[in-house]
């Protein structure tokens, strides 16, 4: 079975060779042929990483059937990102093996652990959403405005400047609005008593 090794270190004074050595030994024990090694020297909080991106591209091209990592947190720091990567690998029929956690998605126990992690992550997201909604309800009850502040636009001046031949971009700059807000204000029906 063809394997890819992914290693990541957070700082320049750390060395990925320790991870790679353990993963090469594990690959040899399992009879995997390592076809590529991907390394990132970057924090795990960043979803976009050159080594990881290259590995996922090669995965989509079917270059290997299994990905070996030293630990799950080497692949991703957030549960959400970890599950996204695992989900993509799963859709590509690529197994995932973690050395430290002894997690292997080729077996039923490994797949069950991934499902449990996913369920916990979904529960966590739901709890966060519910806390945000509760906070918004409380703020509304206290009379606080929720959302962006309302635009205070002198529509008459905007219409006058448009009639003078100014472009939408010039109007946006002059009135310190987005181009979309200028269009929206110009399309509004005039208020009662205005020309």
Question: Which residues are the active-site residues?
Answer: 10
Q: Is 66 helix (H, G, I), strand (E, B) or coil?
A: strand
Q: How many CB atoms lie within 10 A of CB 170?
A: 14
CA distance 107 to 30: 14
Distance CA 70, CA 75 (A): 9
Q: Give CA angle at 141 (138, 142), nearest 5°.
A: 90
Instruction: Go through the chain and tell me how many residues it has.
Output: 195
Q: 4: helix, coil or strand?
A: strand
Nearest Cα residue to 8 out of 84, 98, 79: 98
Beta-carbon contacts of 35 under 8 Å, excluding residues fewer than 6 positions away, are 2, 3, 4, 63, 64
Question: Phi then psi for 5, rounded to 5 degrees?
Answer: -110, 125
DSSP at 42: S
């Amino acid at each position: 079975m063809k394997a890819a090794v992914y290693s990541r270190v957070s700082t320049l004074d750390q060395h990925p060779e320790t991870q790679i050595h353990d993963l090469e030994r594990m690959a040899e024990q399992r009879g995997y042929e390592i076809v590529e090694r991907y390394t990132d020297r970057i924090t795990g909080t960043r979803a976009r990483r050159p080594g990881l991106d290259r590995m996922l591209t090669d995965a989509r091209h079917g270059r290997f059937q299994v990905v070996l990592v030293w630990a799950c947190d080497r692949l991703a720091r957030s549960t959400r990102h970890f599950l996204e990567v695992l989900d993509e690998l799963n859709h590509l029929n690529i197994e995932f093996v973690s050395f430290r956690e002894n997690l292997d998605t080729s077996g039923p126990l490994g797949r069950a652990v991934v499902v449990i992690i996913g369920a916990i992550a979904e529960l966590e997201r739901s709890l966060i959403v519910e806390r945000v909604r509760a906070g918004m309800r409380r703020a509304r009850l206290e009379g606080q405005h929720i959302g962006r502040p309302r635009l205070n636009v002198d529509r008459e001046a905007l219409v006058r400047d448009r009639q003078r031949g100014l472009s939408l971009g010039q109007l946006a700059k002059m009135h310190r609005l987005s181009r979309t807000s200028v269009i929206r204000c110009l399309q509004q029906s005039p208020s009662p008593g205005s020309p």
